[in-house]
Structure 1
Amino acid sequence: MIRLRSLRNKLLAVIALVMLPAVLVSIGTIVVYDLHMYEQTITDDMTTQAELLGHMSAPALSFDDRRLAFENLALLRLRPQVNAGAIYDAKGRLFARYAAYNELAGVPAAAGPEGFRIEHGKLQLFKRIEDNGELLGTVYLRANYEVLARFLDYVLIGFVAGLLALFCAWLVSRRLNDVITRPILSIAHVAREVMATGDMAHRAPRLGQDEVADLADTFNRMLAEIEVRKRELESSNREIARESEQRHEAQHEVMRLNEELERRVHERTMQLETANRELGLAMEEAKSANQAKSAFLSSMSHELRTPLNAILGFAQILTSDRLPSTLVQKKEFANHILKSGRHLLTLINEILDLAKIESGAVALSMEPVALPEVLQECDAMMAPLAAGRGIRLLFPQRCAFNVQADRTRLKQILLNLLSNAIKYNREGGAVVIDCSVPAPGLQRVTVQDTGMGLKPEQVRMLFQPFNRLGQEAGAEEGSGIGLVVTKRLVELMGGTIGVSSSPGVGSMFWIELASTEPVPAPRAPAALPPAAGSAAPRDSITLLYVEDNPANLKLVQEIIRYRPGLRLLSAPDGQLGLEMARAHLPDLILLDINLPGMNGFEVLRQLRAEPATAHIPVIALTANAMPRDVERGIAAGFFRYLIKPINIDEFTAAVNGTTARLRSDAPAPAAAASPTGERRPAQTAPLPPDRKEER
């Protein structure tokens, strides 16, 4: 029995199942057509023979000449397929008969109704003999009807043809199997080695340029991130163990000194006791901190392993011989692996974000921020998510205030609160956003939902890392550190955050920040007349992409391929990119930073130094995602700054915004983009990307 549990055998079965029905349908069509033609031919031949015999025997019937009738019937011996015949008079009585071999007994004694009939594998025909409308008699013919024999011959031919088709399918599948299965098997092999040895240094080879190759890249990046975090955690644990040992040694030394001091001077006893109490408190604090660190690491290990379990689990199913799956299931499993990989990358970014906040490495750009503009942007971003669950978003009509905050981080805070309010809301519920002034110089923004609400014990644990408000694991996807990051950001901006909740009714989160002067109502800008002699819209835009990674270049080519108005040029290094920019003068340049030989900053500097290329907008497309990298890129003069992995929507928006200006030749101020695609003034240093944190 053929085993279909391996991917190779499944591909062979698919090819065979496609080819075999086609062969059978073709042979069946030929068989039906041939049998139909055989039946048509034999009936036409029998009819013609009967008419001829009736015409020849009409005089014999008229003159009662049986000898002539027998002679006419004897001519049937020239037709081997006709094995019997007879002539009946006008009253249906047997007049003369003929039979080949021993078929005489099969001739009917009387004439039957005119027409064909099939009995016992024989085709029988009764044909009336008429002369000038007068019935003279009836002709009877019986011939062999070999349809069954012909059908069996065709069945044998079909069986042989089916075997040949299966053999051809097997030959083709042996050539094509490695193209499909080898990349998936290589990823599964690396995953098993990592699971067995715990060594994160293994990497899956990239074979090809398809989705499986992208999966291998994502898997390798995930292993690299986990390896870095593992080394950092091991280093931190060693440092904690060393500090604990030092404290332990210090404790013994203090106790020894205490005994000596008690023997020497009585009046120093109180001082030493005080010192011992303080040391005990310090040890308790260190112990509590160590326990909190252990709990944090345990929770983080669980959160990292959850998406990794999905990745490795579905990968094992795809490569297992004992768990067969269909092609549709394979695509679904691959989508689960990609989704879990992206979730794991998001989780690692959130943990790094929290670590930067805890270490004080976050730089804020405090400035007066207009609340109406920020709320309007949040409304536009969250409306599709709310509409998907039938939840109404109710924003305030009037909120003309400025608050002292970092614009990007304030938007991140509001998006996190809104996403939580939508996620933990009931279907068809509502989210109400309001602004108020709780005290002079303060501005409060509240986000209220109509969800299930929180119990008092849940509220007390609300701002702890990896706390999902009592939700079952897997009920809501997320890291559980979103509100922790939100609280830290609010406090860094000098504000406060609070929550009130009623079980079964809903929850209300609020933040308070220092307010400034009210924002005047914006006036619609006056329409400007079109500039005289403005150029007509352009039909084609030339885009130059300088990238040394073939996979990244292929991804951009696939995105641009569906844009008929864009023409893409590419260069593998900075020097060739400069030469192509001088030769072709593209309308837009996509530039990687880490290029062989000449990096992206040097390429940008030389482009700006030459009058012919100084006006060309250049968009950075790089994996350098740290805040200082973004600030450096914007300061260097990039038109936009996009971060890998590429978000196709943000990439398309950036290209559309630039090409729209080029097509209309309308001037626009240089602007930069944060990693989320938000436009910023060129002189303002952007901060790390907004993230929709979760509870």
Structure 2
Amino acid sequence: MSAVARWWRPRLLRQKLLAVVLLTTLAALLVATGCVIAYDLRAYQRGLLGDMRTQAELIGHISAAALAFDDRRLAGENLALLRLRPGIQAGAIYTAAGALFASYTAPGQAGAFPRRAAADDASFAGGTLTLSRRIVDNGEPLGTVYLRADDGLLGRAADYLAISAGAMLLAMLIAYLVMRRLHHLVTQPILAIAAIAGEVVATGDYSRRAPRLSDDEVARLVDSFNRMLGEIEARTGALEGSNRALASEAGQRADAQHEVMRLNAELEQRVHERTGQLERANGELALAMAEASRANQAKTAFLSSMSHELRTPLNAILGFAQILGSDKLPTTAEQKREFAGHILKSGRHLLTLINEVLDLAKIESGAVALSLEPVALAEILHECRDMTEPLAGARGVHLLFPERVEGSVEADRTRLKQILLNLLSNAIKYNRAGGAVVLDIAARPDGRLRLAVQDTGHGLTAEQIERLFQPFNRLGQEGGGEEGSGIGLVVTKRLVELMGGAIGVSSSVGVGSLFWIELRAVAAPALAVVAAAAPAPAAAASATLLYVEDNPANLRLVEEIVRFRPGLRLLAAPDGHLGIEMARAHLPDVILMDLNLPCVGGAEALRVLRGDPRTAHIPVIALTANAMPRDVERGLALGFADYLTKPINIDEFGAAVDRALAAAAGRAGAGAAREARP
């Protein structure tokens, strides 16, 4: 064991040189032998595979007639010819349908065959080559030939390894003998230098010199070594004299340095204390500033969001109310009922927004009170369907509810209706045109009922799902022009949990989303039905007003205002993209533009219209619920002819339209005058 350790860890230069030569020789032999063996085995494997493919094609060729005429005897005789190839263990012929037609097994071999043979396949596994080739006659597949043979790779590799081992041992022995004869030519001069160096270290006598025994690189090493000893001898003498002079000076400096170090330590301690105090003060200040910044951002986001969302329904409420209360705008009884319906609908929406904020505040403070009772799903789903069908119809979305609904759940009826309306309205608003919303009910093994709302919208990413139940997060649809405060899902989640239920979501981008809630099942009562009204047609006139608005109630309000002005004809577009196309096609006199539009926003639509020579002259009036002072300033800076905020003031609305029409007429008159000049 000690001899082996000395071999692998040589201490003498002679042993190291011998080890380097032997290991280099061994590495070269291993690489060369490995490459030769690998190349030969690879070539042998390819040759064997080619031979077996040729054999399979030959068997397939002579057996084509047997397959064509269902002659199993002839096929068996053809396979029996494989006995002339001792390396083939078994063979078989399969029909085109994959059934075994004929087979052959060499003596002493297993007769197992696969149930079906893969077409044109070959594989090496466990020392066996398995090959399948299709039998094709005149382009028509008749069957498959299956062959299994001993690949012989293991025996061939063993022979190569034995030959290689013998060759490497012989080469290593020759290298060892050559190095034993020649090592003194290299090591003797170096050993002489080592001996002199050892004596110098032991005695400190730098006057000793190494003998020059050769005339090569080692001799130059000896000369350099001797010159180094002479230089060290001279410098050692000079250094000793200098050290004595410095010793006394070092003592004086040491005393002064100790005093300086003491003063520095005191100063460092004071600086450290003051730095710690300053860092703590800065940390507290940074935390306070960050908290204040977060509070300001949250307040700004809340005010901006709620200002827009509250003004949108207020626009319809106050606008229709102004029509009903005006003597200048007479209305029929049917119109009054319709306008009252719009006011009621918008008022309910406004109440919903306010209640969402109040609900969230109550839930967060723990002050919300629920009345849990058995709630019939059939009745509440019927109510929800009636309330969401107008929104779905306006957006071209199909609502699919179960035909029969049975059972009930333990819940607060009002809160459950609020939850379902929120999920259904979200599924409609964030759906695609022509999409569908499916509501499904299923019993769970734990005694709960699952109500699932599935849409065919654009879906949500994993990051959006993580932020989904955070306040003011609008399903990743920021800036999309959809109604909502962004807290509906937060309230929904908290209410479901307060009723002892669970809520979840799954989504695929580009496919859609599925929201579900689970509540404890109990029993089910009956249903109720609600009716709806239809809008009246608009009148035609000489001047054309294009209104780009995605809110049906706001559009209806403007239709009624314009109806009392016989000199105006109203066109409507539900989104910015269609509004641009209609402006180019009809060239209206004035354009009313909402800012929060789907597809293309109002500001972007204005930029496109101003960049088109056909529509650049048309005055565009902003009509939006973005009523903050900075919103008004920004809108006028963008180039809007006027900026009206919702709720609409009818007098201001009429004055703005009149000013725009007068400006358009003035530009038209100036253009005509220029054309009339000679």
Same fold (TM over 0.5): no
The TM-score with structure 2 as length reference comes to: 0.33
Compute the TM-score of the two structures, normalised by the length of structure 1: 0.32
Larger radius of gyration: 2
